[in-house]
Structure 1
Amino acid sequence: MKEKLTDFVINNFGFLPPELIVIIVSAMPILELRGGLPLAYGFYEFSFWKSFSLSLFGNFLPIIPLLLLFQPLSNWMLRFNWYGKLYNWLYNRTLKKSGNVEKYGAVGLVLFTAVPIPTTGAYIACVAATIFSIRFRYAVIAITTGIFIAGLMIGLLSYSAF
């Protein structure tokens, strides 16, 4: 598995500095720091704190733009049929996964973001914050705290695995 990852990274992103690759992977939806941190620590063999910092930074990058732009862009894009279907799917999926956010607000958002399983990261947390009208400041703090907790958990798992 490590050889396939090595080949993929070198063949497609070898021209970029390793630190930037980790930041980009950590900023990507679905992967987020759950992909960036093991990449940094296991593949590039960065120190724990360097891996943690780069992944945290990368995962934080999209939070503010998503919180500020998701609703206005969605309102504008809803005039397209294909986006309406995508939005309804995302909305229903977020509602199904975010019971704690609805119940506990920003504290639930921390828990939602911190759980290191697929579809519970910062991207969906931003959508949940928008859907449940959590104030911007509280949403940023909650999602950042959740990312930090998830990063510690993933970091410890990566550290013990490598």
Structure 2
Amino acid sequence: MDSFLREVLNFLTIELAVLLAAALPIIELRGAIPIGISLGLSPVNAAVISFVGSMLPVPALLFGIRPMFTLLRRKKPFSNVVQRLVSRSLAKSGKIQKYGALGLVLFVAVPLPGTGIWTGALIAAFLDMRFKWAFPAILAGNAIAAVAVMGLSTGVISVIGG
């Protein structure tokens, strides 16, 4: 695996690799910042590049996910997968429904798995949240998460007191 990673990095710059990793679901900013730091980027550079990369898919998700899911629901092999994704996303939407854009900021800001921009954007789209409220909320929440993950990755923020 290590040699494969080196080959990929020879093709891509470290910065581009971190940017692309941050744009992926599951990895997002929460995984890309530690990856960037471990590859030799400064914590601030890793955080900024990860932040930019993780925000790249947001407009496409906010505008395109509902039409795409509507289309995929018509295809038998995808209908169950789409329904599970929708159900999981909406199961996490209680605070967002209650608090609106502020709830979305807080949801995306929590640096835990399953609370990033992908899930936040899915929830916002399924709740019919307008782009002018959803995008800035996701942006703000992602910025908070970037600072938190950078602090956790560098030891500035300690999970366990001491």
Which one of 17, 24, 32 corresponds to residue 21 of structure 1?
A: 17
Following TM superposition, by how much is the alpha carbon of 1:10 offset from its aligned partner in structure 2, in angstroms? 1.1
Structure 2 residue matching 1:14: 3-state secondary structure: helix
- Matched residue, 1:33: 29
Which stretches of structure 1, 4 residues or more, deviate above 6 A after TM superposition?
Answer: none
Q: Deviations over 1:26-70 (max 9, x none)?
A: 1110000111101111x1221222111100000000001111111
Cα deviations by residue, 1:85-117 (Å, 9 ceiling, x for unpaired) = 112101111122221111111111111111111
Quote the sequence identity (%). Answer: 35
Indicate the residue corresponding to 1:103 in structure 2: 98
* Residue equivalent to 2:59: 64
Q: Which amino acid aligns with 1:143?
A: I
Structure 2: gaps (5+ residues): 157-162
Alpha-carbon distance, 1:8 to partner: 4.7
CA distance in structure 2 between the partners assigned to 1:63 and 1:7 by the alignment: 32
Partner secondary structure for residue 117 of structure 1: coil
2:85 corresponds in structure 1 to: 90
Give, in whole Å, the separation in 1 of the partners of 2:94 and 2:82. Answer: 19
Deviations along 1:63-84, one digit per CA (max 9) or x if unpaired, are: 0111111111112222112222
Contact conserved, 2:33 with 2:50, CA < 8 A, in 1?
yes
Q: Does 1:156 align with 2:137?
A: no
Superposition pairs for residues 107-118 of structure 1, below 5 Å? Answer: 107-118=102-113
Give the distance between the partners of 1:25 and 1:157, measured in 2 at CA. Answer: 19
Shift of 1:14: 3.1
* Aligned-residue CA RMSD (Å): 1.5
Matched, 1:9 2:10: no
One-letter amino acid matched to 2:50: S
Q: Which runs of 5+ in 1 are unaligned?
A: none
- How far is the alpha carbon of 1:7 from its aligned partner? 4.1
Which one of 113, 130, 138 corresponds to residue 125 of structure 2? Answer: 130
Which residue does 1:119 correspond to in 2?
Answer: 114
Query: 2: distance between equivalents of 1:14 and 1:45?
Result: 14
